[in-house]
Structure 1
């Protein structure tokens, strides 16, 4: 996936939220929001896929430790539309992440027990319109 945005020295702590507004390309296949220490140590990989080989439209969650992907968690609630703007937020709650979509809330555990998030990346078939941190 192509990198759209990478941010270093983010300094998100427990209780902090990042709000993201994106435009999903009309021919999008997938995109991802990743958060952690760097690209090899990710506490959260949030990866909506429009045409997954296994599940069709699905959101895949994962984390990465020492450069290796861990076990995927798949969520079949899919509210994304190609060619549309989309706003959502991710709150770092320490033991888990809370992802708020317009009509749905999802959670993913902080498997790697990170206490500070210093890296945020957006990849794939989207254009970032805004990123706002609520510290």
Structure 2
């Protein structure tokens, strides 16, 4: 059930906005990635659940150069319905996981407008909403 890359166009995320992505994780999932930024070489948030090494990796990218990874335990389940809520507060991203756990990641590049959103991996999107 590997998804194709999904680029969401004509969407602008600003401080105070929330992005809700819901879908189904493949039963044999290895990785999912949700990228938010200006383009593929400039990412304010790279959110990357990995089942192949039991971690959620968050990072940023500036002019094609990755920053330092932040790693968290991955509580997400293969084969499950997944709802992720991402809030941009200005200097911080807050990512709410289905179990109520919240991960935070700094907006290292200080991006005030996110107009590049890409979802890729072992995940089928069923709902996408900007709140």
The alignment's TM-score, normalised by the length of structure 2, stands at: 0.93
> For this pair of structures, how many residues does the alignment match?
129
Does 1:107 pair with 2:104? Answer: yes
1:89 and 2:85 aligned: yes
User: What's the CA shift for 1:7?
Assistant: 1.4
1:39-118 pair list within 5 angstroms: 39-52=40-53, 57-76=54-73, 78-102=74-98, 103-118=100-115
Say if 2:48 and 2:56, in contact at 8 Å, map to a contact too.
yes
Asked if 2 retains the 8 angstrom alpha-carbon contact of 1:4 and 1:128, the reply is no
Match in the other structure for 2:35: 34
- Structure 1 stretches of at least 4 aligned residues deviating more than 6 Å after TM superposition: none
Unaligned runs of at least 5 residues, structure 2: none
Change (3 A) 1:24 1:90: same
Q: CA RMSD in A?
A: 1.4
CA contact (8 A) 2:35 2:117 kept: yes
Measured against aligned partners, the alpha-carbon deviations of 1:20-56 in whole angstroms (never above 9, x if no partner) come to 101101111011111001111100000000022xxxx
Aligned to 1:129: 126
Provide the rounded CA distance (Å) in 1 between the counterparts of 2:42 and 2:3.
18
Query: What is the deviation of 1:84?
Result: 1.2
2: CA distance, partners of 1:128 / 1:80: 16
Query: What is the alpha-carbon distance in structure 2 between the residues aligned to residue 69 and residue 7 of structure 1?
Result: 22
**1:62 aligns to what SS in structure 2?**
strand
Residue 9 of structure 1 deviates from its aligned partner by 3.2
Equivalents in 1 of 2:4, 2:60: separation in Å?
18
